[in-house]
Structure 1
Amino acid sequence: MSVASGPGPADPQGTSRSTSATIQPNILRYLVMVADERGVDLRPLLSRVGLDETLMRSAALRVSYRQGSAVIRRALELTRDEHLGLKVGAAQHLTAWGLLGFALMADDTLRHAIETGVKYQNLSGAMTVWSTGQGEDGTFVLHADLPDPAIDPGVASFLIEEGFASVVTLSRLAVGPAFTPRAVEFSGPAPRQIDLYGALFGCPVRFGAPADRIVIDPAWARARMPGRDPVTYASTLETLDTQMASRHDQQDLLEVLEVSVAQSLPVIPSFGEQARRHATSERTLRRRLADCGTTYEALAEGVRRERVEQLLLRPELTLRDIARRAGFSDERALRRAVRRWHGTSPVQLRERMLRGMGWTD
């Protein structure tokens, strides 16, 4: 089985990759398009999380897992469409993946193209963690996992459905409209309307399964890609490897800074102090963060937001305790921040989080 890393779970030192801006916003771009078709304008929402229209048009833009999840959660509320993930996935094209999409089109077989996509998934804008394997009957199996087990259930369903719909849609664009998986399996419960799943996937769809996966017949897995070109494929992979190395460097920088902020709370180190800690100039550090698509202020706020959410899960702590530990001047400042992040009060957010984890009735 081959596995490529995605956004990780909570770091033992008090932060997680969910605050790092390392994800290409492909899903969000198509989400805006699909929401527009339903008369819902998500642009004001994007602006509130720091993603204005100019940034969204930038090929260099990266968003954090937390930013993406917040937009998806609100989009589900605004559209009231529990099948939004299916529609966003079905609207996509290989060109949305940029150079990686070009590499997939030049690959040899459908199976190898999917394995290439999994290998370079950190460059594709994926918000799930993909892996591949082989079934006992010789089938080719594509697995999807969520990087954060505590993710909002609605966002979780959206991400899995978006991922599966995009895989099937892009496979049909690559090898022909007749492509259908042998089976599609969701670990979540069956929705109210299941006819949409059969219509989209064209195969048996199972809910309440042990894992989220797509099962593909060997014959389809061996299907030749119409645009296969070994020379183009090899040269494109060289560029992708360079991008992956750069992405790892960016992730390392962001994670080191996040850990530094998390360990210093309730005090947030100044930008100048961070530059001194990393033996670099403020100008160089600011440029490196810009290359990552973020700022020190946004990174520090993301860490503080995560700390607040962790503290809210401890019922014995008062809002005053949480404000002090997260570096807020008082409870009012904490309330304003939580309202900005979640559109609700700290008390209501705490109740929702504890209820979601089964700690309250």
Structure 2
Amino acid sequence: MAELAAPAVHDWDFPRGTASIRLMLRFAEDHGVPARELRSAAGLDDPGGPGRADAPDRPVDARHELAVVRAVAARAGDSDELALDLGRRYRVTTFGIFGFACISSPTMRDAMLFALRYLDLSFTFCIPHVELGEHGISLVLDDTRVPADVARFLVLRDLAAIHTVMRDLLPQVRLQRLALRHPAPPSVQSYVDAFGLVPSFGAASHRAELDPALLTLPLPQANEQTVALCVAQCDALVAHRRERSGLSQLVRERLVRLGGVDAGLDEVARQLAVSPRTLRRRLADAGTGYRQLVDEVRRALAEEMLDTGALSVEDVALRLGYAEASSFIHAFKRWTGMTPAAFARRSSPRARPGR
């Protein structure tokens, strides 16, 4: 199959707006979880966190949204029905100027091309690929880089969101087939409610198939002048975000090379040939902070080392630069909600959950 166009990003780790976080906070409250509890669990109110997640124009690091996803799943109930219900809350208007550009595009093909070109203005974690074949259009979701503990939840959230937005653009959209890689749940009614059909499970990939005739159908709200204006605004927005996010990734790479040992902001700034003040400001512009990045790298490295089962908690703490194991245990519990020992027992050997 030929790919319609390559997605602009190949990983979920890109800055994003706060609309998705705000949507999930409202969703959690609808399920009886107070927003303040969710904010606390996700670290949104921490000094190193994103600050006001209710500020619509403020970009945040993708890991903040991931923390909210984990908190929603943990407190509202990690189920397929919940993930699908959450995904259906995402409407084309949720995506701001990105969504406005899609709905103003001439045809569904144009909207798909735009969405792939500006994918880092979306809230997706699973990377979509659109394949064109003789008998249909295939939307394939790649979740290979999504953290295993929330991979199934995010596949269903993202797929339900994409399907809902496509129907906002063109109400005639219907899936012809849907295949999912994970095992079948006890009930498929929530899938029928979300997609209008019963999927096949245990497939080789997450794949939704549509009628190719949909590509050329005109969109009801197409407007050539509006979409041109939206493209100009999206160009400026992604240029700004990509410039800011580049430095965040450089800091992560430096910290990984140091094995998670905190060299201090001043030293990392010196290595990157910027002043500490500039580094602090540009990280804030990207929706993150130095302490947040240190925690992210340490958490990722800690989970990798604990997964192997070859190192004790004390050894992991030492390798990450902690003077005492108790400090590492406290930090790990803050990151994950469990102790390192409990994590090692649960995830060794680590496998994707087969709920």
With the length of structure 1 as denominator, give the TM-score of the two structures.
Answer: 0.87
**Cα distance change on mapping 1:304 and 1:7 into 2, 3 Å:** farther
State whether structure 2 residue 168 is matched by structure 1 residue 173. yes
Aligned to 2:69: 72
Aligned to 1:105: 103
| Superposed CA RMSD | 2.3
Q: Which amino acid aligns with 1:31?
A: M
Distance 2:26 2:133 in 1: 36
Distance 1:54 1:341 in 2: 17
Number of equivalences? 344
- Structure 1 unpaired stretches of 5+: 9-16
Q: How does 1:28-107 map to 2 (within 5 A)?
A: 28-52=21-45, 55-82=52-79, 83-107=81-105
Distance 1:76 1:93 in 2: 21
- Range that drifts further, 57-66 or 332-341: 57-66
Q: Which amino acid aligns with 1:334?
A: F
Cα shift at 1:324: 0.8
Q: State the percentage of identical aligned residues.
A: 28
Cα shift at 1:94: 1.2
Aligned to 2:265: 271
Distance 1:355 1:63 in 2: 33
Distance 2:290 2:10 in 1: 19
Aligned to 2:203: 209
Aligned to 2:138: 141
Cα shift at 1:192: 1.4
Distance 2:291 2:78 in 1: 34
Correspondence for 2:6 among 3, 7, 10: 3
Cα shift at 1:293: 0.7
- Structure 2 unpaired stretches of 5+: none
Cα shift at 1:147: 4.4
**Cα distance change on mapping 1:232 and 1:205 into 2, 3 Å:** same
Aligned to 1:12: none
Aligned to 1:220: 214
- Range that drifts further, 102-111 or 279-288: 279-288
Distance 1:223 1:305 in 2: 47
8 Å CA contact 2:83–2:157 kept in 1: the answer is yes
8 Å CA contact 1:111–1:140 kept in 2: the answer is no
State whether structure 2 residue 326 is matched by structure 1 residue 332. yes
Correspondence for 2:157 among 142, 159, 162: 162
**Cα distance change on mapping 1:65 and 1:79 into 2, 3 Å:** same
Correspondence for 1:313 among 283, 286, 307: 307
Cα shift at 1:65: 4.3
With the length of structure 2 as denominator, give the TM-score of the two structures.
Answer: 0.89
Aligned to 1:293: 287
Q: Which amino acid aligns with 1:57?
A: D
Distance 1:164 1:224 in 2: 23
8 Å CA contact 2:58–2:287 kept in 1: the answer is yes
**Cα distance change on mapping 1:24 and 1:189 into 2, 3 Å:** farther
Distance 2:143 2:8 in 1: 11
Q: Which amino acid aligns with 1:41?
A: P
Cα shift at 1:70: 3.5
**Cα distance change on mapping 1:169 and 1:245 into 2, 3 Å:** same
Cα shift at 1:62: 3.9
8 Å CA contact 1:335–1:345 kept in 2: the answer is yes
Aligned to 1:24: 17
What's the CA shift string for 1:157-177, capped at 9, x where partnerless? 21111112112212222222x
8 Å CA contact 1:42–1:75 kept in 2: the answer is no
Distance 1:315 1:81 in 2: 26
Distance 1:25 1:181 in 2: 30
Q: How does 1:123-134 map to 2 (within 5 A)?
A: 123-134=121-132
- Range that drifts further, 204-213 or 156-165: 204-213
